[in-house]
Structure 1
């Protein structure tokens, strides 16, 4: 959820400020671009150099910078407009009161008042301060403004007391924001199953029958589904690709039989299935125990048998799932795609033609035609596979929310 997000982290003067070094690191690790604004008192608890190093951006402390005799202005309006979201952590009782009343006496408060993005805040103070009616009034006011409260946790406090008021741990703050961002996304609460890559059908201990699929299209579809709020199960044949988010459960398989079993293990619990894998249609009827040796002057005869038709079996078993297949064709493309759509009881099919430049295996681009069960057809231009994944999901979402 945080990948590619621009996050403005506001740090105020409480002992919990030391945790912002860990928080900054987690946000950057999640793929966010982070800029930090500190109140002057916050620098007593964590150094600007630490946060600048971890965020890879200069830390802003005051309206005016003085360097080598030259003066420059930190533009709070630009900072507020830059951010996709703002996070104030720790938010002390003093800062909460200023935020609620609109008191603007430092760069952080000016930036907060200029922000057009969602604002999250994580209170941190002692037990009695947290329970004080004025603090509750500040919290209620900020929530009424539309700001998002990350509740304080219970535990040992700086005073030696134990109770509520402790700033949420950095990993819990990141998890809270992730969960909040997922709400309202078109695939929030839905489980999605995607297959990707080739399958390898063993011939002997060192050889196999396979194809040229890299799995890129399936992985891009999985990543886009996660960005749209889905919990994704990605079943991938042999590929070097890796997932980029914890919202994708990656299950690696090798053969068509293994993929068949894995798909049916999860099929009943998902809302959408996209079968993007290039599954082998045939496999050797027998697998040699030892490496097959060549014999001079003699041809090799290889007897093959059909693998299980994964997509057809899903079409026969589906209840409420939205089932999407892929068709990679070299001739009679539309006729073959329509036939596959009907025979396998699909809700939609994505057609690739190897006759189209930029489509197929081994490229970073693809050219598709999306065809649904009502024979509504939409053809797209050549795009990167990441952009194609966006197009495919837009077509699917239109239909599952219709």
Structure 2
């Protein structure tokens, strides 16, 4: 459908208002020229920093070419949604640091404590598309929520949503980095927003805090060393040399976000979907390690954690329980919990349990 320039400007304003009504904190609009990002993407893939994430390389430079990914695309509507739970400690960063120091606590990334964000954002982006269609009639679009080879940060930066921090995550002056991103690729030639300027300055807090030193240099992340990769994406055994560095982080890692000065401005979510479920903000590793597969599947239904499966869940927890030996050597509850899994059907689980028990001797 053809829409006049004046109507496109009005439509862009309406899209942003509809986005706020749907729970998005901000909507930005960008063109599809990402040539500036291709060299960095190619170098990152050539270095093998993506590890086992073959999907990162499978589409080659399509990640930086939205119009090739979805023919006819001329604009990308970027939406961001805050995910800090609606309730929690006033100083959430201090609360996270305190829990991280407790060797018995299970540290689970904040984003994963509630409902799977893929489902939440996809549904609301579809509602946004439906509102546009009701306004102008049929148009070309496709919804993405971390579900295809999309360079989310580069697009969001162009759309004015934020800038890419030295940890490679997107930062926003009013909201830090505690938000999800989603996109609508569209054939509507909407007016674009001004790109964001970087505001990290000389700060390198995220680089210095990384437990595994996965951030090799500003904007250069070796995913193979990143705890989020090791506990979520990696399918096999966690490398021996990295296990002690993981500490009690059993699903993802928020260290680089907790320490970021911009996250003092992080905003709480306005939707209930990201409220904490199953007490995952205050659970012990022993407690979670006792979950049988049925418990895991039932309790984590609708959670992003369920995607890794019970076997990898136990693998991660075994590493954390082994690391607890540094401060709690020979802890009876930990040793008993680990010992109960020595005959687990999975060879990978058994190997990680044996390693963990060896730390307590």
TM tier, smaller? under 0.3
User: If you compute each CA radius of gyration, which structure gives the higher value, 1 or 2?
Assistant: 1
- Structure number with higher strand proportion: 1
- Structure number with higher helix proportion: 2
